Amino acid sequence: MKKIGLFIIIIIASVYFIFPFYWVIESMTKDTSQLFLGTFFPESLSQLISNISKTFSYENGIYWMWFLNSLLYSSAGGLIGTFMASLGGFAFSRYKFLGKRVLFILILGFSMVPGVASIIPLFVMFKNVSLLDTYWAIIIPTFSNVFGIYLMTLYWNQVPQDIFDAAKIDGANDVRIFFQIGLPLVFSAFITLFLLGFIGIWNNYFLALIMLRSSNKFPLILGLSNINSLIGLPGQSSLYPVIITGSFFSILPLILIFFAFQKFLTPKIVGSIK
| Residues from 103 through 122 that contact another protein (CB under 8 A) | 103-105, 107-110, 112-122
Task: Provide, rounded to whole angstroms, the least separation between the CB of residue 172 and another protein.
Answer: 13
Q: Which of 25, 35, 71, 191 binds another protein (CB under 8 A)?
A: 35
- Secondary structure letter of residue 234 according to DSSP: T
Restricting to residues 46-65, which ones interact with another protein according to CB under 8 A? none
DSSP H helices in 129-269 = 135-139, 146-157, 161-169, 174-176, 183-185, 187-202, 205-211, 220-228, 240-260, 262-265
Indicate which single residue of 149, 189, 193, 196 sits in contact with another protein (rule: CB under 8 A): 149
Among 1, 45, 169, 273, binds another protein (CB under 8 A): 273
Given the rule CB under 8 A, which of 47-55, 56-64, 184-192, 250-258 is the region that contacts another protein?
A: 250-258
For another protein (CB under 8 A), the number of binding residues is 105
| Interatomic CA distance for residues 39 and 23, integer angstroms | 10
Nearer to another protein, 62 or 222 (CB): 222
Q: Tally the C-alpha atoms within 13 A of residue 122's C-alpha that lie toward its C-beta.
A: 17
Element (H, E) at 45: helix 45-57
Closest residue by Cα to residue 186 from 224, 219, 234, 154: 154
- Dist CA 103 CA 106 (whole Å): 5
Q: Which of residues 216-245 bind another protein (CB under 8 A)?
A: 221, 224-225, 228-232, 237, 240, 243-244
Q: Are 164 and 182 in contact, with CB atoms under 8 Å apart?
A: yes
Shortest Cβ distance from residue 216 to another protein (Å)? 19
Buried b (16+ CB within 10 A) or exposed e, 190-209: bebbbbbbbbebbebeebbe
Q: Which of 1, 3, 60, 213 binds another protein (CB under 8 A)?
A: 3
Instruction: Convert residues 171-210 into a mask of x (bound to another protein by CB under 8 A) and - (unbound).
Output: ---xx--x--------------------x--xx-xx--xx
For 44: left if phi > 0, alpha if psi spans -120 to 50, otherwise beta; the answer is: beta
Cβ of residue 78: shortest distance to another protein, in angstroms?
14
Nearer to another protein, 62 or 146 (CB): 146
Under rule CB under 8 A, residue 251 binds another protein: yes
Q: Among residues 62 and 246, whose Cβ is nearest to another protein?
A: 246
C-beta of 1 vs 45, nearer to another protein: 1
